[in-house]
């Protein structure tokens, strides 16, 4: 019935559009097509979500000087097999990018540093990026429209899992993670209704859906899978093995690494095997303003050391590659996120913009 309505409704598309769609297209010049990168190995684990932000700084790009750099190295210079280089197939981008000059940007706010419980990050990370990946250029986005989480999107998925386990879904609990007593008033307000925690049980198995729409991340954690019979459920959730991994980040594993990074940061959460389930759209639009050269993680470490006077690089216990934007910022830009061990055994998070400094003005200036 629904489809019949769509079919009928589509009849009212104008004749002109139908006729145009049937015209043979003009031949276009395919500009500097790059090939998709090959992976020599990938780190792929899982984690719960946690984002903490305490301080804000400001900088801006130099858009007038921006030229997409096609001369960046495309292979690991060391020649060893410990590094992989992420290249971008411009024909397959999950957003519209015409290769044009980016628009002028001003007052680009960035996160500075934060602090929090980093236990999960240090043990398991769902971030598809790892230190052995070299990113040469990455997109910057403007006016990305954020989605919001609804438990109704996820409960059917958990019901499906529980059915596969032969159990009924019970103890369903949902909350937006905006409790000021837990997160502090500033963060609770900043992420009001954007961070979701949904928990449920199926027999001895526990589910935890932990989602954060501000940066478009979703994790579904499952614990208690201790039988080989549970492999089906583990596979459905994208886990390699129910024995080895108790949790996982759900995104499309079939894509190349660049697409996985995009999926992880921006796109919908998808469960691709054996069924395709689109759980939600975390960010509904992505307006790319340009592809920007990205510094290496080692260069970011140098910046971090200079800025924060971190003499002992051994204190850096974990690094992530993230897309972030602040409340007052109109751009999503990539960052290296460093988890640095403090003397009191807690961790402090430092954010270094991944965009090459030559495209940034007033870097590090505080508000």
Partner 1 sequence: MELMNDEQIIELYFQRDEEALKQTEKKYGQLCFRISDNILLDRSESEECLNDTLLRVWNSIPPTHPNSLKAFICKIVRNLALTRFEFNNRKKRAKELQVSLDEIGDMIPDNRISADFDDEELGQAIDRFLDTIKDDARNVFIRKYWFFDTVSDIAGRYGFSENKVNNMLYRTRIKLRDYLKKEGIYI
Among residues 256 and 308, whose Cβ is nearest to partner 1?
A: 256
Supply 178's token pair. Answer: 């905006």
Among residues 187 and 262, whose Cβ is nearest to partner 1?
A: 262
User: What are the Cα distances from residue 118, in Å, to 186, 203, 258, 314, 341?
Assistant: 19, 30, 25, 16, 10
Shortest Å, Cβ 30 to partner 1:
7
Residue 260's φ and ψ, nearest 5 degrees, are: -65, -40
Shortest Å, Cβ 19 to partner 1:
5
Among residues 191 and 266, whose Cβ is nearest to partner 1?
A: 266
CA–CA separation, 284 and 265 (whole Å): 12
Shortest Å, Cβ 121 to partner 1:
30
Note the residues at the interface with partner 1 (CB under 8 A).
1-22, 24-25, 27-28, 30, 89, 91-96, 145, 281, 284-285
Assess contact for 248 and 219: CB atoms under 8 A.
yes
Residue 8's φ and ψ, nearest 5 degrees, are: -65, -45
Shortest Å, Cβ 340 to partner 1:
38
CA–CA separation, 200 and 174 (whole Å): 9
Among residues 108 and 268, whose Cβ is nearest to partner 1?
A: 268
* Kind of pairing between the strands at 331-341 and 137-146: antiparallel
**Which residue from 336, 326, 323 is spatially nearest to 367, judged by alpha carbons?**
326
CA–CA separation, 301 and 294 (whole Å): 13
Among residues 94 and 246, whose Cβ is nearest to partner 1?
A: 94
Shortest Å, Cβ 31 to partner 1:
13
Residue with tokens 């051994």: 314
Among residues 194 and 267, whose Cβ is nearest to partner 1?
A: 267
Shortest Å, Cβ 206 to partner 1:
30
Burial class (CB in 10 A: 0-12, 13-18, 19+), 293: buried
Shortest Å, Cβ 140 to partner 1:
18
> Omega of the bond prior to 161 within 30 degrees of 0, cis?
no
Among residues 27 and 67, whose Cβ is nearest to partner 1?
A: 27
């Amino acid at each position: 019935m629904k489809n019949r309505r769509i079919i009928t409704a589509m009849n009212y598309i104008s004749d002109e559009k139908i006729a145009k769609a049937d015209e043979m297209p003009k031949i276009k010049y395919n500009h500097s097509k790059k090939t998709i990168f090959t992976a020599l190995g990938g780190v792929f684990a899982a984690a719960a979500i946690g984002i903490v932000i305490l301080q804000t700084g400001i900088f801006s790009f130099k858009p007038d000087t921006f030229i997409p750099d096609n001369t960046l190295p495309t292979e690991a210079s060391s020649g060893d097999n410990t590094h992989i280089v992420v290249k971008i197939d411009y024909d397959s981008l999950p957003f519209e990018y015409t290769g044009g000059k980016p628009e002028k940007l001003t007052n680009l706010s960035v996160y500075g540093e934060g602090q929090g419980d980093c236990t999960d990050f240090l043990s398991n990370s769902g971030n598809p990026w790892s230190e052995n990946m070299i990113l040469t250029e990455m997109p910057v986005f403007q006016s990305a429209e954020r989605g919001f989480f609804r438990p109704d999107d996820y409960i059917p998925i958990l019901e499906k899992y529980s059915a596969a386990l032969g159990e009924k879904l019970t103890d369903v609990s949902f909350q937006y993670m905006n409790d000021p007593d837990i997160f502090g008033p500033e963060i609770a307000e900043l992420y009001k209704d954007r961070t979701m925690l949904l928990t449920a049980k199926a027999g001895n198995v526990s589910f935890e859906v932990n989602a954060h729409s501000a940066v478009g991340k979703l994790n579904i954690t499952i614990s208690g899978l201790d039988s080989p019979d549970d492999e089906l459920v583990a596979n459905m959730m994208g886990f390699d093995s129910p024995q080895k991994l108790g949790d996982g980040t759900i995104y499309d594993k079939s894509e190349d690494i660049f697409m996985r990074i995009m999926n992880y940061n921006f796109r919908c959460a998808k469960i691709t095997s054996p069924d395709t389930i689109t759980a939600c759209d975390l960010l509904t639009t992505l307006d790319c303003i340009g592809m920007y050269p990205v510094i290496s993680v080692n260069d970011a470490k140098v910046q971090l050391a200079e800025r924060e006077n971190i003499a002992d690089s051994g204190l850096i216990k974990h690094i992530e590659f993230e897309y972030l934007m602040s409340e007052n910022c109109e751009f999503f830009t990539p960052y290296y996120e460093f988890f640095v061990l403090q003397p009191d055994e807690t961790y402090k998070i430092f954010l270094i913009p991944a965009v090459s400094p030559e495209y940034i003005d007033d870097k590090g200036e505080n508000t």
